[in-house]
Amino acid sequence: MPEYPPVLQPWLTSCTCMQQAVMLGPVRGADGIQKYDSTKYILRWYRRCLMRVALTYKSVDNPVTKDGASFMGPSVEMPPDYDGKWEPLMAPLVDQFIRSLDALPHHFVQHFRNGVEIMGYKHPDLRIRQWWHEFYLRLVKDEHLLPESEERLDERLGDRYDTWRKHSDDAVSE
């Protein structure tokens, strides 16, 4: 039987098991989203930052390269004069996503925001990490929340029952 590389990028093993599980939660996306909705394109970029492309086994470090079929394909089209700056190309998608949050299932948005937060603190590529952190800040601002510090995140999702319980509501069962 042939051996295949893991689908998850190696950097994830530097995260706690709880953080890894949280990041995997939103990968599938939410039910009922139109195929060409901004959410689908943001999720493509999210998947690229976590997983290797199945067809090539490569990690893709931008949202524009044509690779990955539809599940992990490009989020935006690469312009003919592409200068390597993908952030401005993604800005309209982020705006559309923020505007569409009320139409998305709240449970999905919570899981996605938590995954985005971890990506914004833990991704090894500074450029990608900063992009996701800025996206996280927009998500919490839209919900009138305060951002969680990396230290609090690490305590809450640090693979310890006592610190996880400390940050959970008593109504939440084990």
**What average pLDDT does range 60-87 have in this prediction?**
93
Nearest to 91 by CA among 49, 63, 117, 120: 63
Could you tell me the residue ranges of all domains in the chain?
10-158
Tell me how far apart the alpha carbons of residues 61 and 50 are, in angstroms, rounded to a whole number: 10
Lowest mean pLDDT among 3-12, 13-22, 117-126, 163-172: 163-172
* Close Cβ partners of 75 (under 8 Å, ≥ 6 residues apart): 41, 42, 44, 45, 63, 64, 90, 93
Instruction: Report d(CA 53, CA 68) in Å as an integer.
Output: 5
**Structure-block tokens of residue 14:** 């530097």
Dihedral of CA atoms 164, 125, 65, 93 in degrees, nearest 10, equals 60
Confidence bin at 174 (pLDDT 50/70/90): low
% residues pLDDT > 70 (the chain): 99
The C-alpha atoms of residue 174 and residue 165 are separated, in whole angstroms, by 9
Averaged pLDDT score across all residues of the chain: 94
**pLDDT at 103 > cutoff 80:** yes
Check if the beta carbon of residue 121 is closer than 8 Å to that of residue 133.
yes
Q: What is the mean pLDDT of residues 112-129?
A: 98
Q: How confident is the model at residue 147 (pLDDT cuts 50, 70, 90)?
A: very high
Report, as an integer, the average pLDDT of 15-36. Answer: 93
Find residue 51's DSSP bridge partners: 8
Going by pLDDT thresholds of 50, 70 and 90, the confidence category of residue 35 is confident
